[in-house]
Amino acid sequence: MIKLVIFDLDGTLIDAYKAIEESLNYTLKRLEYKPVSSSLVHKAVGGGDVNFIKAFVKDEDVEKALDIYRQHHKFSLTAYARTMPRTKEMLNMLKRNNCKLAVATNRPEKFSLILLNHLEIEKYFDLIICAGAVEELKPEPVLLLRILKELKINPDEAFYVGDMVVDVYAGKNAGVRTVAVMSGSSSESELKKAKPFKLISSVAELIELEQINTNLKN
């Protein structure tokens, strides 16, 4: 039986791409850079906000850009972010059936908590581990291993659900089966190449997996 489901945040449970794009282009405008497209934003997320900003500004502008971006992002998140379809329904069902839930994200804790609280889903999670809590981000397994350790769950009793190739590799590195969701930054072909345990179209389909259904029937 599956005792724990660990979730990535952006592109998996939450669609914050518009908020990220607004904050980035505001930052670029302030620093007299040209705006970038939605597609470039989608491809650049997932490695934490420092690496994200580095993809768009010169090295000497990173610190200033990051400060501007973070100040703006506190407000753009609440204005534009939303949960993926049927996310709350899925979390409710898992929680009612005694499945522990956790979040492992490369997003900094401050902004992760803004999202989770604003969208009213923080209450579902037994543990939330974000960038800053550990030294290494995904695809390194440290985030997942810390969650397993703190919740006292074996790797084979857990799923990790994420939308990016780095999530698949993080799960493999932690010895956890990964369910890849085609709702985020990595394409279907990229995810298939990474060979996740399962590939689903949306996070709501998680409850249809055989291993999860076993939980729900018991």
Please report, for residues 16, 131, 209, the alpha-carbon distance to residue 142 in angstroms, rounded to integers and kept in the order given: 24, 11, 26
CA distance 145 to 134: 11
**pLDDT the model gives residue 6:** 98
Question: In this structure, how many other beta carbons lie within 10 angstroms of the beta carbon of residue 154?
Answer: 11
| pLDDT over 70 at 5, yes or no | yes
Q: Which stretches of 45-174 are DSSP H helices?
A: 49-54, 62-80, 87-96, 109-118, 142-151, 165-174
- Residue 51 buriedness (CB in 10 A; 0-12 / 13-18 / 19+): middle
| Average pLDDT over the chain, rounded to an integer | 93
The model's confidence at residue 156, banded by pLDDT at 50, 70 and 90, is very high
Instruction: Please confirm whether the linkage preceding 139 is cis (ω < 30° from 0).
Output: yes
**pLDDT the model gives residue 48:** 86
| pLDDT over 90 at 56, yes or no | yes
Region 121-146 average pLDDT: 92
| pLDDT over 70 at 214, yes or no | no
The model's confidence at residue 29, banded by pLDDT at 50, 70 and 90, is very high
CA distance 197 to 116: 27
**pLDDT the model gives residue 141:** 94
Region 150-175 average pLDDT: 96
Task: Give the total residue count for the chain.
Answer: 218
Residue ranges, comma separated, of all CATH 3.40.50.1000 domains in the chain are 4-15+83-217
Instruction: Please indicate whether residue 72 or residue 1 has the higher confidence score (pLDDT).
Output: 72
- Please say whether the structural domain 17-80 has been given the CATH code 1.10.150: yes
Q: Which of 153, 74, 148, 157 is CA-nearest to residue 115? A: 74
| pLDDT over 80 at 116, yes or no | yes
Region 151-168 average pLDDT: 96
CA distance 109 to 113: 6
Tell the CATH topology of 4-15+83-217.
Rossmann fold (3.40.50)
Region 92-114 average pLDDT: 93
| pLDDT over 70 at 215, yes or no | no
| pLDDT over 90 at 31, yes or no | yes
pTM assigned to the model: 0.90
**pLDDT the model gives residue 137:** 85
* Beta-carbon-side half-sphere exposure of residue 175 (alpha carbons within 13 Å): 10
CA distance 53 to 136: 18
- Least confident window among 36-50, 77-91, 109-123: 36-50
Give the distance from CA 191 to its chain's centroid.
Answer: 15
Region 178-197 average pLDDT: 95
| pLDDT over 80 at 210, yes or no | no
